Amino acid sequence: NKAPKEEQRDVDSEDSSEGFGFLEKNLHEFFHELRRYDMTTWDVESTYKLMSKLTDLHIKEFDDFNISLSMILGEMIRHWRPESSQTAELFLRISESDEADLSSLILTLCNTPVKVKFLERHIASILTASQRKFPNEWQPEAIGKLLQDVEDNGFNIDATEVFHRMGKEQGEPESLGKLVRHYLLANAEKDSFSCRCKTVECECPAYVDEGIAFIVFAGLERKMDWDEDSKLTFFRSATDTLWTPEILNELGELFNIKDAVKVCNPLVDRRLNWNAKEFVSAEDHTAVDKAQKKLYPQRRCKGVRCSNQPKRGCYFDMCGRCCKKVGEACTVHEDMSFFEPPVSKTDLDHLVGLTPFRSVIFGSDFSVHDEDVIKVVDLCKESLVVLEVGSSNTGAGVWLSDVAVHHIANNCPNLRKLRLESVTGVTDNAVTDVMSKCTLLEELEVSGHDRSSGSLTDEGIKQLFDLSVLPNLKGLIITDQMRVRHDVVYRLRRRRPKLKIIAGETDSDSFAHSMVLSMCGMSYGDGLY
């Protein structure tokens, strides 16, 4: 009672951890003894009653630290050995009787210390039964988001197998295609630097990774016994307006669909109609342009639904906010002065004679050295907001050292996006300097490449455990950094759940590497997490 508050909290924390450890030990002993009994003949109601006695099933939110609850769910199914339909019935029973959140229940089951056998089959049955019983709540969007949450939490679940089992139960290629499409959309990413909306009404484009689609499509084509019409129906539904014709045709080859763009809906190639400031298809551009011409001067900003006054002299007759969204240079609104990436030393020499830029992106073929970056930084200094250097495809960036990165940290306090790709020589010291001085950073990449690891270690990444360091950070890429351990990355994810982190090892483009992957039963991207 006389202990200070801090010491008392430490004591309470130790007691709590000891209590959890004691509970887990008892659960292990209980389920070890349960092996002596045959539960396979139990019905759903009997299993539910036993689980209700063991724990409170009123689960409203997933807690990845509640291992005891995950253990109870997993061990009960492991000892019961039910059909997947019985598992679905049990979970719906818990959801209704205990008012538990079904998504949280599924995540809790995935979090079990020892993975349940045929877990994908059980999840597929639960989702299929939920769709039938609660069609309004379990739309394809909700299922896609749940599967994305499963992957974001690092659970070893094969989404392709889940779709395979759901497709078998549903028997409708079009419905399965919609599920896959919304799963791909849930994995889509927006450019957080370009998109500043921060509202649910945001209509900025999201980029769907065709690599994920390739893996899912190839697996389903191999597992599902579809005829040609069923393949076409699924493909049309799964790819609706997601990709350009070129990508669509490549994916169509997986299902032996020739000229997929003729039978599917590609992503419409749109361009900006500068008179209306609305996106229209290219073929309609001329007609819309003529219809909206006026005989008198436009006195309002030509942005979409914008009532502001245009800035005098603006190239696009817009206010500053709308002109910024255009993304092209305007002498009046110097806010968005962009230029083409320099690809040679001559381009760079020409660049340093111009006015400061806000965005500098070195071309992938530019073999950038410290002095090149220093030239650009000395030109732009406080104006620089975006700096992208290096390329994993060409290896450009390997000559960069801490000298250039320290120069960036000391002279670019307003930097919001820094991409250092294939910079194998940059160490913790320089990156920590950037973290402490470029406090507005929203996106940071410091990566090696598939032939040589970077020089970052755990100590550099642990700086981000302090939430006051780079508080606006939204994206972190630290691929091909062999000295950064998995557990440090996972701890950082728990510390900053809204931070998008890509780590692990990238794959070589060589034929030999692809052969090694196939012999090991692996695919491209398996080294990332």
* Cα 253 from Cα 427, distance rounded (Å): 44
pLDDT at 514: 66
* pTM (2 d.p.): 0.58
pLDDT at 21: 56
**Strand arrangement, sheet containing 500-504:** 359-361, 386-389, 417-420, 443-446, 475-479, 500-504
- Secondary structure of 225-276 as H, E, C letters: CCCHHHHHHHHHHHCCCCCCHHHHHHHHHHHCCCCHHHHCCCCCCEEEECCC
Element (H, E) at 418: strand 417-420
Residue 526 confidence (pLDDT): 67
State how far the Cα of 348 lies from the Cα of 360, in Å rounded to an integer: 11
Q: For residue 278, what pLDDT is reported?
A: 39
- Amino acid identity of 270? R
For 253-270, b/e burial (b = at least 16 CB within 10 A) is ebbebeebbeebebbeee
| pLDDT score for 85 | 93
What tokens does 441 get? 């950073």
Alpha-carbon distance 81 to 397, whole Å?
54
Q: Is 193 helix (H, G, I), strand (E, B) or coil?
A: coil
User: What pLDDT sits at residue 280?
Assistant: 39
Report the first-to-last Cα separation within the chain, whole angstroms. Answer: 47
Query: Tell me, what's the pLDDT at 455?
Result: 92
Based on C-alpha coordinates, what's the Rg of the chain? 27
User: In sequence order, what are the residues at sequence separation of 6 or more whose Cβ sits closer than 8 angstroms to the Cβ of residue 456?
Assistant: 426, 427, 428, 431, 446, 478, 481, 483, 484
Angle at 259 between CA 258 and CA 264, to 5 degrees: 110
How high is the pLDDT of residue 263?
86
Residue 419's pLDDT is what? Answer: 93
What the block records as the tokens of 212 is: 């994920």
Q: Is there a contact between 421 and 389 (Cβ–Cβ < 8 Å)?
A: yes
Q: What is the pLDDT of residue 3?
A: 42
Asked if residue 388 lies in contact with residue 423, where contact means CB atoms within 8 angstroms, the answer is no
pLDDT reported for residue 245:
86
What does DSSP say about strands 417-420 and 443-446: parallel, antiparallel, or unpaired?
A: parallel
Q: Which residues of the chain have pLDDT under 70?
A: 1-24, 191-204, 268-299, 304-305, 311-313, 315, 320-321, 323-356, 507-515, 517-518, 521-526
- The helix or strand, by DSSP H or E, that contains position 476, with its residue range, turns out to be strand 475-479
Nearby residues of 394 by Cβ (< 8 Å), 6 or more positions away:
364, 365
- Please give the backbone phi and psi of residue 112, each rounded to the nearest 5 degrees, phi first: -60, 140
